[in-house]
Structure 1
Amino acid sequence: MKQLNEKVAIVTGAGQGIGKGIALCLAKRGVKVIATGRRAEPIEQTIAEIKELGGEGFAMTCDSADRARVEEVVNVAVEKYGTVDVVVNNAQAIVPSAPVEETSYDNMLKAWQSGVIGSLNYMQAAFPYMKEQHEGRIINFASATGMFGIAGQLAYGSNKEALRGMTKIAAKEWGQYGICVNIVLPGAESPAAKAWAEKFPEEYAKQVNLNPMKRFGDPEIDIAPVIAFLAGPDSCYFSGQSVIVDGANSIMP
């Protein structure tokens, strides 16, 4: 079984926020990181920081909903490093809030294409290599928005709950190949959260105060180490689980 520092990981949405924190955290632990995102500049900056730290990796632009491009990313990773050991499906398009009756088809489609479909694209593209080596880690991302049914978040929340369903089914089917599939529900200071705080400072302060730890998590310090555990050898019997990392703000029954 490979140690974490022997692994190759694809991190989607790695140009900012949680994705960037994960990419940096894994790289500091010796993981070779392929950083993807829709815009070149942010992911290239992430890789530049990784190399400054003495790490290894490269950046490739990719919209996760573009299946052909996803397959290209995986193929390039395999050509360069021999395999793909870990896929971190962090990327997700954010769509406007709306009540159920006003949620548009286009926004539903955008949320699901970037989330469920995009994650499935990477899972299926990496599967043959993980199956062949009888070892792999898939780490998807959900949200308390879907788990607890936050009003106004139909497109985003329903997509995130579908991701939880897909994770559990894949874990059941792929366990026989040594592939662990888990999903993380983070509570962190992402760029989207910061933008929301600037727009609604009083509501932001209220939400921070409701958190038992009186703060939101740091992407690299608080969230990413959990991803490192899920990506490493110590999680080889841990699969199909929803892991909430938000300072006890959300506790699953």
Structure 2
Amino acid sequence: MIHSSFDVNNERDKNDLFEEILRKTKDPIVLYLHGNTGSRANGHRVDLYKILRRLGCHVIAFDYRGFADSSDESPTEKGCVNDALAMYQYIKNLTTTSPVFVYGHSLGTGISLHMASIVNKSNIDNPKGVILEAPFNNMRDEVIKHPFSWLFRNLPWFETTILKPIYENGFRFESDQRISEFRSPVMILHAENDRVIPYELGYKLYRTALETRGKSWGPAEFHRFEEKYGHKFIVRSKNFPSTIDQFIRRYKNETY
């Protein structure tokens, strides 16, 4: 999605001009990585795209393997991260003039951080910043705290039959490790009444970032949103657009 100041008349124009515009633009590009339900077209995600476009950003959103109209494969952490990395490389191959930001929501925060860790170890430029909406610190803690597990978490076999298989099958999403493996600035957004990924896990990740990231690296910041926004409606906060805009403006010309 090119930002809203561009006038594109039809679908053919979109196909013809999309890559050309990205090659020439100097405006920020946001790669959006969604959570584990639905698709890139879900309503709250579209609301976010509209805000980003009004802020002068181009937005690239996609579905991981196994989601929506993407390839029919079972999603794994490695697979989803590879898909995100392929999209990031695609963007960086198209443009050398635009600042690129990564925005992850929910499960997409774990994918964002894992991808950023890989990018930092490669010859690809790091993103200018990473925005994390409703993140968790690692999959183990998220499963324990998730409302669906409350019936089982105190049973003696919970560790053996639930937590251990998830870990052994590669669904680790160790964001508390990944967040200290790249230099880009990080912004965390979390609503107090998030019942899917509790607020405490997002704040715990933030504290880990403060304690483990290099002093000369991009800063980590945390923004608390009041109770009514839940897991996916922070975009409805009147403060949301300015919070995003300030982060992008602050770091779009910085390199760490």
Q: What band does the TM-score fall into relative to the shorter chain?
A: 0.3 to 0.5
TM-score calculated relative to the size of structure 2: 0.45
TM, length-normalised to structure 1? 0.46
Larger Rg computed on CA atoms: 2
**Which structure has greater helix proportion?**
1
